[in-house]
Chains A and B, each alone.
Chain A
Amino acid sequence: MNSRNWIYAWLMLLPAFVFLIAFTHLPAVTTLIDSFFTTAKGRRAAAFTGLGNYQKMLGDPIFVKAMVNSAIYAAITIPASIALSLAMALLVHRSFRGVSLMRMAFFTPTVLPLIAVANIWLFFYAPGFGLIDQIRLYFGLPSANYVGQPDTALYAVAAVTIWKEAGFFMIFFLAALQTIPQSLREAAAIEGCGRWTFFRRVTLPLIMPTTLFVSVNAVINAFRLVDHVFVMTKGGPDSATMLLLYYIFETGFRFWDTAYAAALTVVLIAILSVVGIGQFFLADRRVHYK
């Protein structure tokens, strides 16, 4: 590589970086700066408060709850949606009667916007006339109020996320499964290799890059997918479904406490960095030394 190359390189990077810096890095830096100040109100200017906003967090029960909820939400939705999507892909990967219908069923979450689907799920969960309750009543079970009880609301919301994510990720696994050569299957069949062994020894390692790709997406989405919370619970009841990003939105755009929202954003970024960067480097290394 000659020395002139770096000019080309910079020229190629320039357009992307203009946008990147203007809409991500600069605003992120202002957010960080804002988090050290109080929120400016029309009648009061912003004042430097140092770590004041961060100290406030420690005594903020909703923040603590949002952290716990986000952790549970991530711990449920990430593995569940990855496992389910892989299972779905394995199912519809083969051809049998009705496979296209099944494929379409798994594909629906990709075409239906979450903001609209949330209303449908709200109907499923509704006590009394809701779909699930109608089924429960049919079997003589008492009515259940899934989104209206603090101990079930978060799981009810997480179920919608899993529905959304698994259908989407299935497509990627389906594509990956297709790259496994048929000859490997034949060889395995001849050697009398069991289904499970084949999956563990051949399929799983071969689709590892896809699994990493999907899990990066799953991690980001576990902290980003909150559209349905707006419609279904608004973080309630009693903050039972309060997730970190929804709390940031609420603090910033409902309570207008932008400084505190900025500090919360900084915390979210820090969490994502810890979880995310680890994954990226893992993915990076795999490709490097393959």
Chain B
Amino acid sequence: MKLLNVFLATSALTLFASQANAVDLEFYFPVAVGGAAADTIQSLTEEYMANNEGVKIDAIYTGSYADTTTKAITAVRGGNAPQLIISLSTDMYTFIDEDMIVAWDNYLTEDEQKNWIGGFYPAFMANSQTEGKTWGIPFQRSTPVLYWNKEAFKAAGLDPEKGPANWAEMVEMGKKLTVKDASGNVTQWGVHIPSSGFPSWLWTGIVAGNGGLLADDTGKNVNFNSDAAVGALEALVSLSSKDGVMAPGILDWGGTPKAFFEGQAAMIWTTTGNLTNVRTNAPFDFGVGFLPGLKQNGAPTGGGNFYLLKGSTDEELQAAADFVKWATAPEQAAKWTIATGYVAPRPDVWETETMKDYVKGFPQALVARDQLDYAVAELSTFEGPKVTQLLNSALESAITGQKSPKEALDGAQAEADAILKAYH
């Protein structure tokens, strides 16, 4: 007995010693939804440090996603990588290709691999696993939804409580919602699907709704010019060119909520990350619904994952992994979701009392969760930024009428194949 006591005491001592042996962690995080999110991350890390002596986390706000990726890769090439970053889930293949991240599997017990990893929504894990390993942990994830202006619906003689159930309905409603002034200029458009910067994101949803997928889970094959994809782009282009329910040209992403608030667009497509923004600033009642699909429901996921970066000791990476396990646990994740409007990445988060209370007062938040059942991975491949960019260019050229949808997508497919050939 005495011996056991001594044994316990020593092991406790060693445990204590290893904890006192301070671990300093650096953690880069982007914020894409305004200032409150940064404060929440800071308070989360502070809370964690207060409860875990010996772990010091330096949470560094690094701007947008693109800036964060830039900083992380530059830091890795410069030889002073942080242990932990949050970056786009679609950067997974880029990071693997750069050989700068480690799989989470090494820092998880078998039980954690099964129950913790298995506890995330599969739609989010689609952008987080490849080659049989888990590389990203979903955290600030989102999905786009349709917002509609109930007052505009009423004015157009539509049922304000019912958004469009499918694409055809959206076009039909859009025609009723498009209002012109005396001189024939449109003062209110029916639909507004933003297309600046990264049109491929929302378009992925249209393709999914048309029964198509843009890439497989190896990150080496894309399918940009399938019938489903061409049909999806034709439908999008038609909104302006044929149906006359959407303003022509590239529509700015950042100005989309404003166009909605100003009554210049009766239905908008944008991220759930905008829920809080719309709720605070819309001077009218609004509804939130699934993205209307051409054939079925479909939507992309988006947003950021946690990644573990190479270049640190196992002890440091283990400490970083432990922090992430804590941060994604239900209570913390609920706090995060409520502060930012991101979709809670695990079903058990929605079971917490905090979340239940939140949803009671704000049922629109549930739409995003329920849409996850139909969600597909965001386009992600090796040479991801380049492949996505060429697709974006192709979409832009079709939207602005420079090329036909088929022509644009055939070109994008050929270019993407040429780039991805190196990985086969």
Interface residues of A (CB under 8 A from B): 41-43, 62, 122-123, 126-130, 137, 140-143, 145, 147-150, 233-234, 236-239, 250, 253-257
CB distance from A49 to the nearest CB of B (A): 13
Is B247 part of the contact surface with A, judged by Cβ < 8 Å? yes
Q: Chain B interface: which size bin?
A: 35 or more
CB distance from A248 to the nearest CB of B (A): 14
Could you name 26 residue pairs across A and B whose Cβ atoms are closer than 8 Å?
A: A41-B97, A41-B99, A43-B96, A43-B97, A122-B252, A122-B254, A126-B255, A126-B258, A127-B247, A129-B258, A140-B185, A143-B186, A145-B248, A145-B251, A147-B252, A148-B252, A148-B400, A149-B400, A233-B196, A236-B393, A237-B399, A254-B66, A254-B70, A255-B386, A256-B94, A256-B385
Which residues from B are CB-within-8-Å of A142?
Answer: 184-186
Q: How many Å lie between the Cα of A257 and that of B97 in the bound state?
A: 12
Tell whether, in the assembled complex, residue A143 and residue B385 are in contact, meaning their CB atoms are under 8 Å apart.
Answer: no
Tell whether, in the assembled complex, residue A238 and residue B255 are in contact, meaning their CB atoms are under 8 Å apart.
Answer: no
Q: A129-B259, A255-B383, A257-B386 are in contact. Are A143 and B247 (CB under 8 A)?
A: yes
Tell whether, in the assembled complex, residue A255 and residue B385 are in contact, meaning their CB atoms are under 8 Å apart.
Answer: yes
Tell whether, in the assembled complex, residue B255 and residue A122 are in contact, meaning their CB atoms are under 8 Å apart.
Answer: yes
Q: A122-B252, A149-B249 are in contact. Are A236 and B197 (CB under 8 A)?
A: yes
Is B14 part of the contact surface with A, judged by Cβ < 8 Å? no
Query: Which A residue's beta carbon lies closest to that of B188?
Result: A128
Tell whether, in the assembled complex, residue B97 and residue A237 are in contact, meaning their CB atoms are under 8 Å apart.
Answer: no
Tell whether, in the assembled complex, residue B185 and residue A148 are in contact, meaning their CB atoms are under 8 Å apart.
Answer: no
CB distance from B258 to the nearest CB of A (A): 6
Query: Which B residue's beta carbon lies closest to that of A239?
Result: B393
A149-B249, A234-B196, A236-B196 are known; give 12 further A-B pairs, CB within 8 A: A122-B252, A128-B264, A143-B247, A145-B247, A148-B252, A150-B396, A236-B392, A237-B399, A237-B400, A254-B70, A255-B383, A255-B386
Q: Return the 6 tightest CB-CB contacts between A and B, nearest first.
A: A42-B99, A148-B250, A148-B249, A145-B249, A128-B264, A238-B396
Is B183 part of the contact surface with A, judged by Cβ < 8 Å? yes
Which residues from B are CB-within-8-Å of A42?
Answer: 96-100
Number of residue pairs across A and B with beta carbons under 8 Å? 110
Interface hits, B238-266 → A, CB 8 Å: 247-252, 254-255, 258-259, 262, 264-265
CB distance from A133 to the nearest CB of B (A): 10
Which residues from A are CB-within-8-Å of B197?
Answer: 234, 236
Interface hits, B248-288 → A, CB 8 Å: 248-252, 254-255, 258-259, 262, 264-265
Q: A42-B100, A140-B183 are in contact. Are A238 and B402 (CB under 8 A)?
A: yes
CB distance from A137 to the nearest CB of B (A): 6
Chain B, residues 165-185, CB within 8 Å of chain A (1/0): the string is 000000000000000000111
Is B420 part of the contact surface with A, judged by Cβ < 8 Å? no
Tell whether, in the assembled complex, residue A126 and residue B252 are in contact, meaning their CB atoms are under 8 Å apart.
Answer: yes
Which residues from A are CB-within-8-Å of B386?
Answer: 255, 257
Q: A127-B247, A145-B247, A237-B196 are in contact. Are A254 and B259 (CB under 8 A)?
A: no
Which residues from A are CB-within-8-Å of B399?
Answer: 237
Which residues from B are CB-within-8-Å of A126?
Answer: 252, 255, 258-259
Tell whether, in the assembled complex, residue B389 and residue A250 are in contact, meaning their CB atoms are under 8 Å apart.
Answer: yes
Q: A128-B264, A254-B389, A255-B386 are in contact. Are A137 and B250 (CB under 8 A)?
A: no
